[in-house]
Amino acid sequence: MAMEIERKFLVKKDVWENWEKEPPHYLRQGYLFKDLVKTARVRVSDDTGYMTVKGKTIGISRAEYEFEIPKQDAEDLLSAFCDTVVTKQRYIVPFEGKIWEVDVFLEQNEGLLVAEIELTEETETFTLPPFIDVEVTGDKKYYNSQLAVKPYKEW
């Protein structure tokens, strides 16, 4: 089993706009299943499909199982079974030896920018890039599974 240990922050838009960055990936994802202890997510990232099962978050960690699946199957699962699809551009940003993922949400979540860093242990330290704003780790309304049902534009 893989454990996902992740911290999440809002992004200062003015700093981010002037940040030099590589072109983003385009992600579309939906939630096939969601219960009290786990979710199953389907994602299309550029030309690849993924199915991901995640356990309940405990502290800042959770179990994660990710499988690559055919893109067409991922598309079919999204259209057959997911009422809401979350879309975003994902920028990969190296900063002081760590990799940040900055998600610029689109459509119903347009206006929301979130930066995430994946850690190998909960106590791992790192330097915050200048575009980082307040931390929102553990705030459920920023969970992508929540953004699918209660998008940013409806807050």
Give the one residue of 36, 37, 58, 134 binding a copy of itself; rule: CB under 8 A. 37
Q: How far apart are CA 118 and CA 129, in angstroms?
A: 14
| Closest separation in Å from C-beta 140 to a copy of itself | 20
Q: How far apart are CA 108 and CA 32, in angstroms?
A: 19
Closest CA to 52 of 44, 63, 64: 64
* Helix (H/G/I), strand (E/B), else coil: 149: helix
| Closest separation in Å from C-beta 80 to a copy of itself | 6
Only one of the segments 5-13, 48-56, 94-102, 114-122 lies at the binding site for a copy of itself (rule: CB under 8 A); that segment is 48-56
Token pair recorded at residue 44: 């299309």
Residue 128 binds a copy of itself (CB under 8 A): no
Residue 32 binds a copy of itself (CB under 8 A): yes
**How many C-beta atoms lie closer than 10 Å to residue 153's C-beta?**
12
Give the one residue of 3, 53, 119, 136 binding a copy of itself; rule: CB under 8 A. 53
Query: Would strands 98-105 and 2-11 be described as parallel, antiparallel, or unpaired?
Result: unpaired
Q: Which residues 61-90 are close enough to bind a copy of itself by CB under 8 A? A: 63, 65, 67, 69, 73, 76-77, 80-81
Token pair recorded at residue 17: 């706009």
Residue 55 binds a copy of itself (CB under 8 A): yes
Token pair recorded at residue 94: 């190296």
Query: Would strands 38-45 and 98-105 be described as parallel, antiparallel, or unpaired?
Result: unpaired
| Closest separation in Å from C-beta 101 to a copy of itself | 23
Please count the residues of the chain: 155
Q: Which is nearer to a copy of itself, 34 or 150 (CB)?
A: 34
Binding positions for a copy of itself, rule: CB under 8 A: 1, 32-33, 35, 37-38, 40, 51, 53, 55, 63, 65, 67, 69, 73, 76-77, 80-81
